[in-house]
Chains A and B, each alone.
Chain A
Amino acid sequence: MKKPAAMTRQLLRSLFAKPATSRYPYEPSKLPRGTRGRLKFDPAKCIGCRLCVRDCPAGGIEVTKTGDRQFEVVIDLGKCIYCGQCAENCNKEAIMLSDDFELAELQNSKLVLRYDVKPERKPAPES
């Protein structure tokens, strides 16, 4: 049956309903647990196996040797696409993804994380 103004009831109800939006950033907003957000790196666990570098689709991770059993890990969050493949590849849980989604920065350089890594054991051979 055709009738005009079929939405009237809905519109009247909406007049008295609470807004569907939240007042972010004045009210905190949370994404579901397990959402892939800011990368967290733990230099103490890293062994420099470069498995993360191999599969990163964005080329956002660099591992360079700086000395005997020493290397520098550079993670560029500006390049990161938050797919989580590096965390999946990591056997030592050195790279993890947190659910922090507030990633905006005014300077690109603040998105580049640098870590000096000195593993206790000998680094695992590249596979």
Chain B
Amino acid sequence: MSDHSITVPIGPQHPALKEPAGFMLQVSGEKITGVSIRLGYNHRGIEKACEDRSYIQDIYLIERICGICSHSHSTAFIQAVEEIAGLQVPPRAQYIRTLVAELERLHSHLLWLGVAGHEIGFDTLLMYTWRDRESVLDLLADLTGNRVNYGINTIGGVRRDIDPAKIENILKIVDAVEERTKYYINLATEETTLIQRLSGVGALSKEDALRLGAVGPTARASGVARDVRRDDPYISYGELDFKVCTSDQCDVYGRTVVRLLELMESFSIIRQVCAKMPDGPVSVKAPRKVPAGEALSRYEAPRGEDVHYVRANGTDRPERVKVRAPTLANLQSVAKMLEDRYLADTPIIIAAIDPCFSCTDRMIVTDERSGSTRGMCWDELRRHGIEWYRARGIDTTRIKLALP
């Protein structure tokens, strides 16, 4: 019946998507036969903008790549800068970074659980998980000074110390959230409607997960025990005891279970961090100018492996910053998961990788005729964007152009 196939566009603006991304689905009846993904609607030119700013300013810019995994991006960037500068970060600062990282994982996974519930029409779960997530956000505000975009990192350490009263507060809230997580785990293993809705949806075999380079919970739910925290320990994960949660379900249900079990591991990590927190300074003095060199830094963000590359040229500004966010690595798997599934499963399949398109969108100019690729400078990029819209009749005359 291939004669009757039609193309259904999902996005760039679509109620089922939380952020703009274009999915063109070839549909035959209710079945999806082909998928093409188009990115770039959320491109903001952050990598390029980093080159115009000093390292200190870049921390706050990099942090705003993504609101949910802001600490992941800033820590990954800072690790690379600290490696180039040869800074020894004090252990107490490393532990505070780990603490914030795990609290971030808590709120990110709770958020995902709510969004997943929402996508399958289980909005009660959304309300409950987001209520519980709120207590974690308050905790982060207490610790770092903000609910998102914490700004706790600085080159050479962290900006705020933590006192025993705060640790006590963390342990109290972690206990309460753990109780709730146990309830959600019971729910996920008992509630038949949830199990039947998610089982077999968005199947991704172990071979496919490896071949397509899936990362994070998406890979772990397909039985690939891949976790940067264990494989290449950074900050203080080398001194902590935790296990990598995997599932052989290979579907959205598996991804739900893996994230719930990871929450339990995070509670254990937070307790270990609070118990082992060493004394000492929380930062060392960092130079403004970073010597020439390059570094690659890996970080296990809640969504998967986040990779940052920084090249320094001896000035106070980086020469190149490259970010590979986990969603970019997982998008190929989404195309695979959608194939031969029903159209109605699309929202939950896309949501199951916990996509973050603002992290992912990239820009490179490729000339198909000559096959050449080139980068664009900040002003060129801006001019190109404005002219692109002007050519399509969108009035940009009211936007003030600050071109050289």
Chain A contacts to B: CB under 8 angstroms: 1-7, 10-11, 20, 31-36, 54-57, 81-85, 88, 97
Per the bound structure, the CA–CA distance linking A31 and B134 in Å amounts to 12
Given A2-B195, A35-B146, A57 and B186 contact (CB-CB distance below 8 Å): no
Given A1-B190, A7-B187, A84-B151, A55 and B141 contact (CB-CB distance below 8 Å): no
Which residue of A6, A34, A54, A81 is within 8 Å of B60 (Cβ)? A81
**CB-CB nearest in chain B for A5:** B191
Q: How many residue pairs, one in A and one in B, have C-beta atoms under 8 Å apart?
A: 65
Q: Which residues of A contact B190 (CB under 8 A)?
A: 1-3, 6
How many residues belonging to B are interface residues under a CB distance threshold of 8 Å?
30
Given A36-B151, A85-B60, A3 and B146 contact (CB-CB distance below 8 Å): no
Per the bound structure, the CA–CA distance linking A88 and B58 in Å amounts to 16
Q: Which residues of A contact B146 (CB under 8 A)?
A: 35-36, 82
Q: Decide yes or no whether B131 CB sits under 8 A from chain A.
A: yes
Q: Is the CB of B191 within 8 A of A55?
A: no
Q: Decide yes or no whether B142 CB sits under 8 A from chain A.
A: yes
Q: Decide yes or no whether B145 CB sits under 8 A from chain A.
A: yes
Chain B contact surface mostly: helix
Per the bound structure, the CA–CA distance linking A35 and B138 in Å amounts to 10
Q: Which residues of A contact B141 (CB under 8 A)?
A: 31-32, 35
Given A20-B131, A36-B151, A88-B159, A57 and B60 contact (CB-CB distance below 8 Å): yes
Q: Decide yes or no whether B37 CB sits under 8 A from chain A.
A: no
Q: Is the CB of B142 within 8 A of A7?
A: no
Q: Which residues of B contact A56 (CB under 8 A)?
A: 57
Q: Is the CB of A32 within 8 A of B186?
A: no
Q: Is the CB of A57 within 8 A of B53?
A: yes
Q: Is the CB of A36 within 8 A of B61?
A: no
Closest chain-A Cβ to B130's Cβ sits at a distance in Å of 9
Which residue of A1, A7, A83 is within 8 Å of B124 (Cβ)? A7
Q: Is the CB of B124 within 8 A of A57?
A: no
Chain B contacts to A: CB under 8 angstroms: 53-54, 56-61, 64, 124, 128, 131, 134, 138, 141-142, 145-146, 149, 151, 159-160, 183, 186-187, 190-193, 195
Greatest chain B CB density within 10 A among A6, A36, A56 is at A6
Q: Which residues of A contact B145 (CB under 8 A)?
A: 34-36, 84, 97
Per the bound structure, the CA–CA distance linking A33 and B163 in Å amounts to 13
Per the bound structure, the CA–CA distance linking A31 and B58 in Å amounts to 27
Per the bound structure, the CA–CA distance linking A54 and B317 in Å amounts to 13
Q: Which residues of A contact B53 (CB under 8 A)?
A: 57
Greatest chain B CB density within 10 A among A11, A85, A88 is at A85
Per the bound structure, the CA–CA distance linking A31 and B146 in Å amounts to 9
18 contacts between A and B (CB under 8 A): A1-B190, A3-B192, A4-B192, A4-B193, A6-B191, A7-B187, A10-B183, A11-B124, A31-B141, A32-B141, A32-B142, A35-B146, A55-B54, A55-B56, A57-B56, A57-B60, A81-B60, A85-B60
15 new A-B pairs (CB below 8 Å) besides A6-B187, A56-B57, A84-B145?
Answer: A2-B190, A2-B195, A4-B191, A7-B187, A10-B128, A10-B183, A34-B145, A36-B146, A55-B56, A55-B57, A57-B59, A57-B61, A81-B64, A83-B151, A85-B56
Closest chain-A Cβ to B180's Cβ sits at a distance in Å of 10
Per the bound structure, the CA–CA distance linking A10 and B182 in Å amounts to 13
Per the bound structure, the CA–CA distance linking A85 and B149 in Å amounts to 13
**CB-CB nearest in chain A for B128:** A10
| 5 closest residue pairs by CB, A with B | A32-B142, A57-B57, A57-B60, A6-B191, A6-B190
Per the bound structure, the CA–CA distance linking A81 and B70 in Å amounts to 14
Per the bound structure, the CA–CA distance linking A84 and B57 in Å amounts to 11
Closest chain-B Cβ to A4's Cβ sits at a distance in Å of 5
Per the bound structure, the CA–CA distance linking A56 and B138 in Å amounts to 26
**CB-CB nearest in chain B for A11:** B124
Q: Which residues of A contact B58 (CB under 8 A)?
A: 57
Closest chain-B Cβ to A127's Cβ sits at a distance in Å of 10
Per the bound structure, the CA–CA distance linking A88 and B156 in Å amounts to 15
